Amino acid sequence: MLNYFLYELRKRRGATIGWGIGLALYVLYVIMLYPSIGAQYAQIDLDSALFQAFIGSDLASMATFAGFYAIYVPSYLPLLLAVYAILNGSGTLAGEEEEGTLELFLTLPLARWQMVLAKALALSLALLVILLVTALGTYLTFVAYQSELNSDVSAMDLVINVLYGWPLVMVFAMMSMFLSAYLPRRRMAAMFMSLFLIVSFLGNNLAAIAEPLQKVQPIFPFYYFNGSEVLASGVDMGDLLVLLGTSLFFYGLAQFSFQRRDVTVGAWPWQRARNRAATQAAGR
């Protein structure tokens, strides 16, 4: 299993480095931008419904570095990384099945649960490494520009803020793995998860100004992720446990679904029992 896990890591190496550097450059741009335009944001109407739909409604002022940073980094960084988590997670099982490689891997002396575990661990570690690279870039950039930012926020506050995105993107990664094992095609899993990502992000932000949405807000993963609040008062352990628990739940569903999957058949779940029965009858 170790060799298979290392193979899964090597397969993600290029994307991991690329995403880590790309997100670090994004944070670099945000921090460099603040000294020149931060004061102009004091005149923005933060009560605008359209504005709140895209960035939330929990910031007192974008004129401060903490407020400016909270708008552009914790609001959008996990959203961007969740795209990678969905693309990667949806391709772990159904994607490999469509490519014809999954059947080959099943000939290895590994149980199916070991394959799913290795893939989940590799994806989890890849997401963590991306955020570690981003956090390192954030730390170095903040230290370099700290004198121009005039902020009480420390470099370690920003590092923790970046790393706190990991539990959130893990939810989308494990949900994608589950749907990849449950649905017959990777495209279906990726499409459903992309839609859920958009609805979760916008729905959670709009819930602050649209009362009907508040009733369903707890089903959105972004409800348990408040980057600006983490920056101000630290991590909420309750929200952290909800995100981690949800990730484990969908990992368990991925294990269960893959155990029952007929590889190379590409059938819907409700068709699989009938297909197995037909196969057994033909073999008699």
**Per-residue model confidence as pLDDT tens digits over 227-258:** 777 777 778 899 999 999 999 999 999 999 88
Dist. CA 239–CA 223, nearest whole Å: 9
- Output the six-digit token pair for 88: 């990667």
Average pLDDT of the chain is 83
What distance, in Å, lies between the first and last C-alpha atoms of the chain? 35
Q: Check residues 199 and 271 and name the one with the higher pLDDT.
A: 199
Look up residue 263 and give its amino acid. Answer: V
pLDDT band at 57 (very low <50, low <70, confident <90, very high): very low
Q: Check residues 268 and 8 and name the one with the higher pLDDT.
A: 8
Q: At 73, is the secondary structure helix, strand, or coil?
A: coil
pLDDT of 105 strictly over 90: no
pLDDT of 80 strictly over 80: yes
Flag the least confident range among 159-163, 258-262, 274-278: 274-278
264-273 burial: b if 16+ Cβ within 10 Å, else e: eeeeeeeeee
Q: At 146, is the secondary structure helix, strand, or coil?
A: helix
pLDDT of 135 strictly over 90: yes
Three-point CA angle 240, 229, 242, nearest 5°? 15
pLDDT of 58 strictly over 50: no
